[in-house]
Structure 1
């Protein structure tokens, strides 16, 4: 998140004032007031903006700012030889239950969060998946869950990583999308051509992001009649998805070729290699 704020400040400083006219260019708004000149959005000719609610509930920036941020992010990713990965939580990385029950101890990757309101079971291989994927991807969480729940799950996942400094780049929750019933990459500060999505539910993304999506089978652990009855502990979906991610990354950053990365697109790479991993 620190890198996002640093890039944002750099872009806003660069785009705030027209160097010729010395007039404010109204790059960002908080509560419909320009962050520079304090005029209302209507007084600024009502520019098209995108709300970045995961940074601040009332914060929005112009499309020009978004494009510049994505360009900066792209340069950073290429230098690090990384891509962007967007992960769902429920039924993708974990399964949750709010069935009331007392745990004697944490075992089998089952944990309590939010003062015992939820039991969380990590999908088999979750931490190994995150640790290996993080060497190739900058990882964000996009979930339809409420913020307090999502933050608790993310804190749990981060605490299990061997690298104690690991943090997800951003956590986008319920109410932070531009559409209430849809996840979207319009608020993602990376160009769509470098973003892959892993989610058990394709429908929440819509057809416009189908080419970015790696569909994973839903993970279900808790039987609500008997909450700790494990009925899906042989799951190997994250290992399968990791193989897909590795292949996309290796093809995108082909060290045997001189590549203009601006012309490359993970969506095309994914389409070309997907048949290798079809059941």
Structure 2
């Protein structure tokens, strides 16, 4: 466990939620890895991926170093549009099981002008249970908080707030014998207009609109219950 852990009392959470409601917003907590981007060590790339990286001119591919090791990060298609549109409906938070240095580096790629996140970045040092994520470190009452993450198991206590998105694996996996070629090896990628982030944005927009029609009756947990089948379809097909 880290040394920076901060949790919030119910009064603080309720005040923050009311402030959001007054601005017709909710809170959206976003995962980083395999949700908004994919990072891999350069030395773990396949030969074809490495050759492609050397000749790539993609604006959303970033090479960087961490403790002497070269890394490469690929932003997910539609991520910039997603953040721009989602920020009109939600206060955006990043929550990663990576460390703070990694989180800050990734946010620098996603939000170089610091428009969307500011200091609203939560890393593993902030979590109160090692290896897990929890809304106890988010200063908003959970009745107004949605989560977008590709991994359900890290949200043991707050899975009812979770929208699961299809995992983004741009680079090849760890199995060298796999016959499945990665998006990078194929020279392709998810579609901007109909990929998982685009589908997620539409769903989040519907949840936001429905919430503000009836938040005096339902909180986001109950709304997500109504949308659960839709989310399963989104996870499989988008």
What TM-score does the superposition give when structure 2 sets the normalisation length? 0.79
Unaligned 5+ segments in structure 2 are 44-49, 234-238
1:151 equivalenced with 2:104 (yes/no): yes
| 1:84/1:205 CA distance change after superposition, 3 Å | same
1:66-145 map, 5 Å: 66-100=9-43, 103=54, 106-114=57-65, 117-145=70-98
Judging changes above 3 Å, is the alpha-carbon distance between structure 1 residues 59 and 92 closer, same or farther for their aligned structure 2 residues?
closer
Take 1:223 and 1:108, find their aligned partners in 2: how far apart are those partners?
Answer: 20
Report deviation, 1:240.
1.2
Encode CA deviations 1:219-260: one digit per residue, 9 max, x unaligned: 011137799525661251111111110110000112xxxx5x
Which runs of structure 2 are paired with 1:13-32 in the superposition (5 Å)?
A: none
CA positional deviation for 1:277: 4.6
Q: Is the 1:87–1:140 contact (alpha carbons within 8 Å) kept by the matching residues of 2?
A: yes
- Alignment partners' CA distance in 1, 2:120 and 2:162: 18
- Of residues 229, 234, 254, the one that matches 2:190 is 234
Paired residues of 1:113 and 1:153 also in contact (CA < 8 A): no
Deviation at 1:72, TM superposition (A): 1.7
Distance 1:268 1:155, change over 3 A: same
* TM-score, normalisation: structure 1: 0.68
| Counterparts in 2 of 1:232 and 1:203: CA distance versus 1, 3 Å | farther
The CA RMSD measured in Å over matched residues stands at 2.7
Could you say if the C-alpha distance between residues 182 and 73 of structure 1 is closer, same or farther in structure 2, counting changes exceeding 3 Å?
A: same
- Displacement after TM superposition at 1:59 (Å): 6.3
Give the Å deviation of 1:74: 1.2
- 2:236 match: none
Q: Which residue of 2 aligns with 1:275?
A: 229
Distance (whole Å) between structure 2 residues aligned to residue 220 and residue 59 of structure 1: 31
Q: Distance between the aligned counterparts of 1:276 and 1:58, measured in 2?
A: 37
Relative to its length, the structure with more helix (as a share) is 2
Q: C-alpha offsets along residues 87-142 of structure 1, whole Å, 9 cap, x if unaligned?
A: 11000100111114674665152112347721110111111111111110101011
Q: 2:146 aligns with which of 165, 178, 196?
A: 196
Determine if contact 1:94/1:219 at 8 Å carries over to the other structure: yes
Cα distance between partner residues in 1 of 2:161 and 2:188: 27
SS of 1:186's equivalent in the other structure is helix
> Which protein, 1 or 2, shows the higher relative CO under an 8 Å CA cutoff with sep ≥ 6?
2
State the shift of 1:175 in Å. Answer: 2.3
Structure 1 CA distance for aligned equivalents of residues 140 and 116 of structure 2: 20
Q: In the alignment, what sits opposite 2:126?
A: 176
